Structures are given as C-alpha cells and as structure tokens.
Structure 1
Amino acid sequence: MPDADVMTVSHLAVWGDPIAHSKSPALHSAAYAVLGLDWEYGRRQVSAPDFSSAIDALDASWRGLSLTMPLKEEAFRAAATRDRHAEISGAVNTLLLGAEPAGFNTDVGGIVDALAENGVTAVETVRILGAGATAASALLAAHELGATRADVRARRPERAAGLVTLGESLGVRITTGLLDAPAERVDLTLATLPSGTDLDASVAARLADDGGALFDAAYAPWPSALAAVWGERPVISGLGMLLHQAVRQIRIFHHGDPREPLPDEGRVLAAMRAAL
C-alpha cells in the first residue's frame, strides 16, 4: 500500500472461526491511535468454506486482513505474492489487500520475538505439539533459533508429513509420534494445540518432564493444560506471539514491509502491550 494512502480511512479485521476471543482488535486499535490513523479494525467469524466468497465481497475501502485458524491455508491460496516465511510454511496470517493481494506470515517472527523477550535466543532440540499451520511457523522459528532436531507430536501423527518435508528442506531432522509416546529431553517445547485443548493430566505431566522451556501459542483460557503443570521452567504464553506478530502486521498495513519499524515504534508497542 503506497505511503500516500496511510492517512485515508481504511477498514481492517481479523477473521477466523472461532473469533470472539481474539484480542487483535484491541491491539490494533491501540496502535492506530498512537499512529494517528483513522482506521477501523474489527473481527468477523468466517469459516474455511466461506472464505473465498467473503473476501470477494470486500470493497476498495478494505486495506488488509489478519487471519487465524482455520483460514491461514485459505489465505495462502488467495495471495498473489507471498513473503519467504509464508511461501516456506504454506500459511498466510496477513493479507495486504489490493488488485494483487500480498500474503505474509508474521507468526514466525512473532514467535522468535516472544522467545527472545523471555531469554530464549538459541536452541538445539525442540518438541512441537500439533501439526497444523501454526506448527509449520513454529518449526521455522525453531530453525531460526538454530534447532537441528524437532520431535513433532500430534493426535494424528500422519498429519505431520508436511512438517517432515519442511524439516528436510531446512536441514532439521524430524521425528513424529503420538502425544503420549516416550521421548528424549528437549531444550524447548512449542505447543500449537488449539486454545482450550483438554489434555489428560498424565500426558501433560509426561510432556512437561522432559520438555525444557514451554512456549504455548494458546492464551485463552490461561493457564493452559500444559502451563498448569510445567513447574519451575520458563513458561511463555501466546500473548507474546500475538503482540509481536501484530506489530509486524501493522508495519505491513502501514508501509508494506514487516521488517521496517513503525514511526515511534517503542510507544506503539507500549500501547499495544497495555491493551492486552
């Protein structure tokens, strides 16, 4: 979106199913107030089958969309161009709208930033819980932190085939298994299970025993089933990822580049953090 347009009234929203729990409207609205932008950011429940018709119905006043489950793969297909993280992961969580929608994956950077904020800047071994779109972003984030091995656990391990292929392309050795299977100790667990996932207490305890630090993409309800039993090791909720991926989204909506900081970004970040 050209810089000349940043002061025009624009519509944005987060789409997903479910969506009522999303804190994205509060985060974005806080940022736009600091930036002096007359932008409206809402939320809408959109299912995967309804995504195409919903996006086709948007008019020229729409600047962009944030996408959450289960729409990241749908948004990937809708994007005419994609950034590196989106292309590699097969997931888009940010669409900059226009004649040729541009797709981005800011989840990867959001995870890296959230971990760094909590002192986790390098790992060798990780365990990823779940095998969906966020799991692919978690694997990319782990690779950027130096991981060489990743143990992927899911209720249906066959769904992890794409993660195995992704790991091969990144030079990360992937093993797969059920959530309750025995495992070796890892430096970091990246949980990408849906919010509110009900884990058997014995399974959660086993994962915690050798799981290292915990990053849990979930944040509502909190503590999650895993966070509640993790003990004294670092536990990082998904709010950090939500905050930092949203900063990158706002950069995209403002000037099109997730790497270029916003004007007075420190004050923007503080306002967003206060809105959580």
Structure 2
Amino acid sequence: MLSGTSRGRCAVLGKPIAHSLSPVMHRRAYAELGLDWTYEAVEVDEAGLPEFLDGLDDSWRGLSLTMPLKRVAVGLVDEVSDAVRSVSALNTIVFEGGRRIGDNTDIPGMLGAFEEHGVRGVRTAAVVGAGATAASALAALRADGLRSATLVVREPARAEPLAELARTWGVDVSIARLDEPLRDADLLVSTAPSAAIERHAGQWCMRVGAVFDVIYDPWPTALASAATVAGLPVVSGLDLLAHQAALQVELMTGRTVPASILRTAVLHSR
C-alpha cells in the first residue's frame, strides 16, 4: 500500500467518460487528506487500453476503470485480488513497485452502501441485468449470506454465464424474462437504464423489501420513487459510487476518507 506522501497522478478511464463523477470525489478526497495529487477523466476504449497502460510513467499511482474496461483489464495487470477473481472484472488498478495490481472495490463498496441504509441479511434477491455490475452485486450479497437469486433480463441466454458463476458460489439462481411477474425477494437490484424498467417499478416494489438502483443521474429514478412511496429502503448508485471511491482512495494513497464526504462533494457540485 502506498504512503500517499509524494505527488501522484490518477485518473478514471472509460468510454464515454465525460459524465463521470469520479474526478469530483477523488479531488475532494485529496483536498481532505492534504495531498497534492491530480485526478482526471480520460476517454479510453477496450482497443486503446493496452497502449494507454504501456505509456504511463512512474508518476502514476492508480486508475479507476468504468465501462467498457472492467473485464478486458483483468488480462492486462500483473496481479489481481480475490474479489477480481470471483467476478472476472476489476475497477481499480494500483501501480506499485513497477507492477499493476488489479482490484474490485464495487463489491465491498456495495456492502458498505447496503450497511449504511440498514440493508442486511439479504437471503433472496432479484437482479435486473447480467453484466459486470450485476455480478459484483451477487458477489457482495453472497458474502453477506445470499441463498437464492433471480436474474431478470430481456434475453435469458445472455444471463446463463453469470447464473452458472453464481451457482459455483452456492447460490441458487434462476433466470426470468423482464416481462414475467417478479418473485418475492428481500432485495431488488437494478442495473438497467431507468426507462427500460419504468413500467414495472410500482409492481416490483410490492414484492421486495428494499431497492438498490445503480443509476444516479437523473435521480430519483422511477424505481427509486416507487420504492420511496412504498416505504422501502433505497440505496442509490451515488451511494455505491461514494463507497467504492473511498476504497479506491485508500488503495491508491494508503489513507482513508469517509464515503459521506465524497457523496456530499458531488451533491454540492450540482
């Protein structure tokens, strides 16, 4: 882990990237910690990632990765954490001793966000989507005792790889189409665009005990609004972003900052 005392460069990579809130959060963290570090947003796609990484000098301390880079980056680092191995996706690269260390702060970040909102002991979940974020959600819930889950998707065949992966963890997984009635669950996790599930929101919130919507802009989503009306705990994508960013700051600098400060920085920037 780095000491965080020397000047360093960090960035968030992805495509598109202009919308990213990571620069606001990380720069606020550096100010809070008294670090003379820089953090920028750089548009990089899957084809360009190897060249970008090879071109970095020793002033670089770490990178945050968003879509579409979370899976392809796994093959471009020297070492990965257990969290990365569990879902074959990473969102963080730390440069240490000339080596690229890959990690996934989405998984513990979700647990932190759930804990903050009192969402604990989830045994059954419905997860809308089957991509990298859905995989991280299942991994996080599995660590907290998840027993069964339903993947809710438009095309069931595309969800089979994630379903098979989760089954190897001991989670009983079924797959349902988006237009099928939702089964009762302790938690509903949505990784889908708000417009894609808007017409289901009210009905779904009658079948679950809490809602986690990874969307954070615009907010509230139709699903979050329906959950609030139903009196359900709601965890937002901004909650996740703040918790995972705080963990990234710790990995990159060796120092800690509360997730609440990073979330507040975004809210004040709007």
TM-score, normalised to structure 2's length? 0.91
Partner of residue 77, structure 2: 79
CA contact (8 A) 1:76 1:90 kept: yes
SS in 1 for 2:222: coil
After TM superposition, the structure 1 = structure 2 runs for residues 104-183 of structure 1, keeping only pairs within 5 Å, are: 104-183=103-182
Partner of residue 220, structure 1: 217
- The structural deviation recorded for 1:272 is 2.0
In 1: Cα distance, 2:179 partner to 2:214 partner: 20
Range moving further from structure 2, 119-128 or 57-66? 57-66
- In the TM superposition, what whole-angstrom CA distance separates every residue of 1:58-102 from its partner, at most 9, and x where no partner exists? 222111100111110022121211111111111100001253210
After TM superposition, the structure 1 = structure 2 runs for residues 196-275 of structure 1, keeping only pairs within 5 Å, are: 196-199=193-196, 201-230=198-227, 231=229, 232-255=231-254, 262=255, 265=257, 268-275=258-265
- The structural deviation recorded for 1:200 is 5.2
- In the TM superposition, what whole-angstrom CA distance separates every residue of 1:197-232 from its partner, at most 9, and x where no partner exists? 422543333333313310111101112232233332
CA contact (8 A) 1:94 1:249 kept: yes
- In the TM superposition, what whole-angstrom CA distance separates every residue of 1:36-60 from its partner, at most 9, and x where no partner exists? 2111001112222222222222222
The residue type paired with residue 26 of structure 2 is H
Structure 2 gap segments, 5+ residues each = none
CA contact (8 A) 1:21 1:220 kept: no
SS in 2 for 1:199: helix
CA contact (8 A) 2:151 2:176 kept: yes
Partner of residue 53, structure 2: 55
The residue type paired with residue 265 of structure 2 is A
After TM superposition, the structure 1 = structure 2 runs for residues 34-73 of structure 1, keeping only pairs within 5 Å, are: 34-73=32-71
Q: What is the total number of aligned residue pairs between the two structures?
A: 263
The residue type paired with residue 113 of structure 1 is G
Partner of residue 259, structure 1: none
The residue type paired with residue 35 of structure 1 is L
In 1: Cα distance, 2:190 partner to 2:198 partner: 16
In 2: Cα distance, 1:154 partner to 1:53 partner: 35
In 2: Cα distance, 1:234 partner to 1:270 partner: 18
- The structural deviation recorded for 1:237 is 0.8
Given the superposition, is the C-alpha separation of residues 56 and 138 from structure 1 closer, same or farther in structure 2, using an over 3 Å criterion?
same
SS in 2 for 1:21: coil
Given the superposition, is the C-alpha separation of residues 61 and 149 from structure 1 closer, same or farther in structure 2, using an over 3 Å criterion?
same
Note the aligned Cα RMSD (angstroms).
1.7
CA contact (8 A) 1:199 1:225 kept: no
- The structural deviation recorded for 1:175 is 0.4
Structure 1 gap segments, 5+ residues each = 256-261
1:8 has 2:6 as partner: yes
Q: Which runs of 4+ in 1 moved over 3 A?
A: 268-271
TM-score, normalised to structure 1's length? 0.89
CA contact (8 A) 2:61 2:252 kept: yes
- The structural deviation recorded for 1:274 is 2.5
